[in-house]
């Protein structure tokens, strides 16, 4: 399961998490994380200037929003921002996300809590943070200290030694903690940055004011301020509606997911959503056998596929129909022998597909040792990639209740679902000098109810002289044509498709 980093801005990522949770199950719901607030020494006096993020009106004591997926309650969010309780020259921001889903007969639940401390002055920098994660994906606490020269993070996990990770400095400032209200207060666009609470990378974020909109609230028409926030991490337009008194009444992530203001007791009441049926794309008929062959192909006619997803690739070709439908032909073949190259390979897209991160961890000694053990002296990049994917497919136990958000955790526990298989495979590929990335999309399956459908899934793409897709969950060294890719690296950009994408014809 992939987690969002903050409550109001990237909750669209939770939709992707819930789509991929069809691969995950868990017997026991997690306990809410216990706060591990960093101790901040009292200041001698309050700062002479305060950021206008503190001047924006907002509910005292924080606010709760129920989280809805296709009008089904899947969780809730709590947010609070104000002066730090023990230091006048600091601002504290708290964001909590709780969500729960039924997978078959079992429950998958995730709790993600962040507390961030900023300087209270205008443009005050992020100085410390605590990120706590519980439930599906594993339990851990990240304690961070940020300075102008870098970010130091201590990672704490039950039964494991603490780890320290040193990262580049972050450009996040106090106004970025609540860009929507700051933009409405200033009545102009706000540009900034935000550190992702999952991968700890810092990404540009901007919020624009879109005027006002009238809504019925408790039977009375009120004017609400409207903003649109876009993060270069998620690339999902998030629309926020704010009342004159500062209350956030609704946050929209396309037509599929909303967060709605609710009293605490109401927000915490959740539907038990069965995500298999809620998020799958039902097909009018089964896919032909040719879709499973290598080489092979299949053609689908779709509706509700935005133009930005219609990008021709070596695997997917698009043709628009006069009635607005889109015909997509998915094909699969092994890489051309003449294109294959020896490893290590340079990344043809600039280097990101070889990078290590707090999630991928391809530079960790355990991952590097395992990659070396698997590929040894094999120089051919495709041959090495096939060894890695086959090992992951045949070694990891298919366990839907054993999630992990870090490659070294997957390697240690050696079990998981599609996201664990893909994460470990990408980490090992990069450690072996093979550019690789995760692919998000849908794959064809017929579940126990006998209905042919596309289910949300994750697999990998490796550069071996040309790009090729591979599926370590299904042990396919060439991902067959039943795979339809729409996004990369568990990115929330694809979330507007969930619950909206339709297949109207199979050719």
Domains of the chain plus CATH, in order, are 12-176+189-200+251-275 (no CATH), 292-506 (3.10.620.30)
Q: What is the mean pLDDT of residues 64-74?
A: 88
Q: What is the mean pLDDT of residues 405-416?
A: 89
Q: Give residue 106's pLDDT.
A: 66
Q: Give residue 116's pLDDT.
A: 98
Question: How far is 431 from 204, CA to CA, in rounded Å?
Answer: 28
Q: Which one-letter DSSP state was computed for residue 288? A: P
Confidence of residue 210 (pLDDT cuts 50, 70, 90): very high
Q: How many CA atoms lie within 13 A of 185 on its CB side?
A: 17
The two counts, helices (H) then strands (E), for the chain are: 8, 25
Highest mean pLDDT among 233-242, 265-274, 353-362: 353-362
CA distances from 300 to 73, 330, 470 (A): 31, 8, 21
Q: What is the mean pLDDT of residues 146-173?
A: 93
Confidence of residue 308 (pLDDT cuts 50, 70, 90): confident
Share of residues in the chain with pLDDT > 70 (%)? 88
Confidence of residue 388 (pLDDT cuts 50, 70, 90): very high
Residue 25 has pLDDT above 60, yes or no: no
Question: How far is 465 from 435, CA to CA, in rounded Å?
Answer: 10
Highest mean pLDDT among 169-178, 262-271, 395-404, 490-499: 169-178
Helix (H) or strand (E) holding 427: helix 418-431
Q: What is the mean pLDDT of residues 7-32?
A: 42
Q: What is the mean pLDDT of residues 72-81?
A: 92
Q: Give residue 498's pLDDT.
A: 79
Confidence of residue 452 (pLDDT cuts 50, 70, 90): very high
Q: Give residue 490's pLDDT.
A: 57
Question: How far is 32 from 400, CA to CA, in rounded Å?
Answer: 21
Share of residues in the chain with pLDDT > 90 (%)? 65
Confidence of residue 37 (pLDDT cuts 50, 70, 90): very low
Q: pTM to 2 decimals?
A: 0.81
Residue 11 has pLDDT above 50, yes or no: no
List b or e across 151-163, with b for residues whose CB sees 16 or more CB atoms inside 10 angstroms: bebebeeeeeeeb
């Amino acid at each position: 399961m992939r987690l969002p980093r903050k409550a109001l801005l990237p909750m669209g990522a939770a939709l992707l998490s819930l789509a991929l949770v069809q691969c995950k199950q868990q017997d026991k719901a997690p306990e809410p994380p216990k706060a591990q607030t960093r101790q901040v020494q009292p200041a001698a006096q309050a700062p002479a200037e305060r950021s206008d993020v503190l001047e924006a009106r907002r509910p005292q004591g924080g606010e709760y929003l129920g989280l809805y997926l296709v009008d089904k309650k899947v969780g809730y969010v709590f947010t609070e921002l104000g002066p730090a309780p023990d230091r006048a020259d600091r601002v504290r921001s708290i964001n909590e996300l709780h969500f729960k889903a039924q997978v078959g007969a079992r429950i998958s639940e995730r709790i993600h809590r962040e507390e961030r401390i900023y300087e209270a002055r205008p443009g005050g920098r992020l100085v410390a943070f605590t990120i706590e994660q519980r439930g599906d994906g594993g339990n851990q606490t990240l304690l961070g200290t940020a300075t102008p020269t870098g970010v130091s993070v201590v990672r704490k996990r039950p039964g494991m030694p603490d780890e320290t990770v040193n990262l580049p400095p972050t450009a996040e400032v106090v106004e970025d903690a609540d860009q929507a209200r700051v933009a409405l207060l200033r009545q102009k666009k706000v540009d900034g940055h935000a550190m992702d609470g999952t991968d700890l990378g810092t990404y540009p974020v901007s919020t624009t004011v879109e005027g006002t909109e009238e809504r019925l609230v408790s039977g009375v028409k009120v004017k609400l301020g409207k903003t649109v926030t876009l993060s270069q991490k998620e690339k999902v337009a998030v629309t926020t509606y704010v009342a004159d008194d500062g209350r956030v009444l609704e946050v929209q992530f396309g037509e599929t997911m909303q967060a709605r203001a609710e009293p605490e007791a109401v927000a915490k009441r959740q539907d038990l959503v069965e995500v298999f049926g809620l998020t799958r794309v039902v097909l009018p008929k089964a896919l032909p056998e040719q879709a499973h062959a290598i080489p092979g192909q299949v053609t689908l006619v779709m509706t509700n596929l935005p133009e930005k997803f219609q990008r021709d690739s070596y695997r997917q070709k698009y043709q628009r129909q006069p009635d607005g439908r889109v015909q997509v032909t998915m094909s699969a073949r092994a890489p051309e022998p003449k294109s294959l190259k020896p490893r290590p390979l340079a990344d043809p897209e600039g280097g990101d597909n070889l990078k290590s991160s707090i999630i991928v961890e391809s530079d960790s000694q355990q991952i590097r040792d395992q990659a070396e053990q698997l590929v040894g002296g094999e120089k051919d990049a495709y041959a090495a990639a096939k060894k890695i994917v086959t090992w992951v497919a045949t070694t990891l136990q298919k366990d839907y209740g054993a999630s992990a958000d870090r490659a070294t955790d997957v390697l240690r526990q050696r079990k998981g679902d599609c996201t664990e298989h893909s994460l470990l495979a990408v980490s090992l590929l990069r450690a072996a000098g093979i550019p690789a990335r995760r692919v998000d999309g849908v794959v064809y399956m017929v579940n126990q109810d006998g209905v042919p459908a596309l289910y949300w899934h994750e697999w990998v793409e490796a550069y071996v002289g040309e790009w090729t897709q591979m599926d370590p969950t299904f042990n396919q060294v060439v991902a067959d044509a039943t795979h339809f890719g729409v996004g990369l690296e568990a990115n929330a950009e694809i979330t507007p498709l969930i619950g909206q994408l339709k297949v109207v014809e199979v050719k």
